[in-house]
Amino acid sequence: MKKIIYIITFLVALSNLLGCIEPYNLNSEYFEENIVIEANITNKLEKQRIKVSKTYPIDSETYQPGGNAVSVKVKSEQGAEFTFSYQEEDSTYVSDEAFKAQPNILYTLEVATANDLYTANSYFENEVTLENIGIEKSTNKEGIEGLDITVNANSNSEDDKYYRYKYEETFTLTAPYYSPYKAILTEMPLGYGQFSFLDYLVIRAYDDTIYHRDCYRTEFHNKPILTTTQNLSEDDLSNFTISFIPKTNYKLNDRYTIKITQYAQSREAYTFYKILQELNYNEETLSPNQPGFVQGNIQSVNFPEKKVIGFFDIVSISSKRVFINRSDYYPNEPISEYFIECEVQDFWKLQPPGLVIEDRLNEGIRLVSIVQQNSLILYDYYGYYDNNIGYEYFLMVKPECGDCSVLGNPEPPPFWQE
């Protein structure tokens, strides 16, 4: 959610959804401060969340959470009132009590600041259920084989439906260069007089609690996926593709799960997000086709001409999760390589006096520095004797290649099923 706040502040400001898009000069010399409000109230019984912040110049790194709101509340036409309190840890206003939106009831958002009141109305007609998630082997337009992940949605209404989807993936990952040993520093022992300029020497120690071989990694995909039944012969949504995963993707190496969340929204909200999608609002860089301000449904009461960024929507929400085993779809095919590049580097350890090491001295010194900074970790170790002289080598890798906890969590998430 935070990304939408950041990038929209750079790209768009919204006043009324069905109006025009105004040209916008991105030069901070013409910067105009606006409030940013993102409010989706769902039909799920939970503490609802609303984001409020302010825009800031494109050449500034000063994010302004909170938007100087004095109060945030949602009212129903039946007289219910739900107040929200600011939660500093994630810059979000959270409802003081759990509640859920009811169908065919009008809700009003009120965000008050010291000198203004921002308001919008919304409702939803029918609850729409995400019926199931489909998994099917497929080949995409580029000729790549993989799994096509689709959804079906049912509604009790014959009206056109407008959907927004987000999803999260969790998969197992195994560090390819895991070792229960670690490289540590010890004080330089006696007998290493020729290295007296060094305070430490690298040794290895067994500790199977520091690094982890197997973990679980979760990735969130918050860029909205939009669709509608407007041009379909049926009112229900059938086999709509949410994601395509190539069979060579590391996510499918072992066990994988996807949770898809469906938002059945208003036509106005669909149009709003569709425009934002075309503007690439949550990309890391500015969109080259950025035309300017898009209009939303939140308005200033005291200053009607003032631009307000954001949208207030009451949505029917539904989620489902499925699990996938690679062996069920590609039982006889090799697994993919680790999803980041890993390289094993060997370092020669400093030796006692009497060994000529001028050509490797800098390498040993560098190893001490690497262990101090933890920029590489130990994968393996080997040594041998030649003419009664011992040689020791440390094989080092990037932390994410030897310790999966750099990229994931060694503990399975609560929803995980084997």
Neighbours of 327 (CB within 10 A): 11
What tokens appear for 312 in the block? Answer: 């207030």
Strand ranges, E, within 189-270 = 200-206, 214-228, 237-246, 255-265
What is the distance between the terminal CA atoms of the chain, rounded to a whole angstrom? 30
Alpha carbon distances (Å) from 371 to 13, 201, 350: 49, 10, 14
Q: Tell me, yes or no, if the two domains 35-122 and 132-174+215-281+316-328 fold the same way.
A: yes
pLDDT category of residue 18 using cuts at 50, 70 and 90: very low
Give the pLDDT confidence score for residue 354 in this predicted structure: 46
Cβ-contact 161, 228 below 8 angstroms? yes
What tokens appear for 5 in the block? Answer: 């706040």
Q: Which residue, among 315, 21, 290, has the nearest Cα to 164 in the 3D structure? A: 315
- Residue 81: what residue type? E
Range name among 28-37, 212-221, 295-304 with the lowest pLDDT average: 28-37
Give the pLDDT confidence score for residue 270 in this predicted structure: 93
Q: Domain extents for the chain? A: 35-122, 132-174+215-281+316-328, 181-212+340-406
For 232-269, write each residue's pLDDT tens digit. 656 678 899 999 999 999 999 999 999 999 999 999 99
Range name among 282-296, 308-322, 392-406 with the lowest pLDDT average: 282-296
With 80 as the cut, is the pLDDT of residue 49 above it? yes
Q: Please, what CATH class does the domain formed by 132-174+215-281+316-328 belong to?
A: mainly beta
For 129-169, write each residue's pLDDT tens digit. 999 999 999 999 999 999 999 999 887 666 778 999 999 99
What is the architecture of the domain spanning 35-122? Sandwich (2.60)
Give the pLDDT confidence score for residue 2 in this predicted structure: 36
For 103-139, write each residue's pLDDT tens digit. 999 999 999 999 999 999 999 988 889 999 999 999 9
Residues 58 and 257: their CA atoms lie apart, in Å, by: 38
The pTM of the whole model exceeds 0.85: no
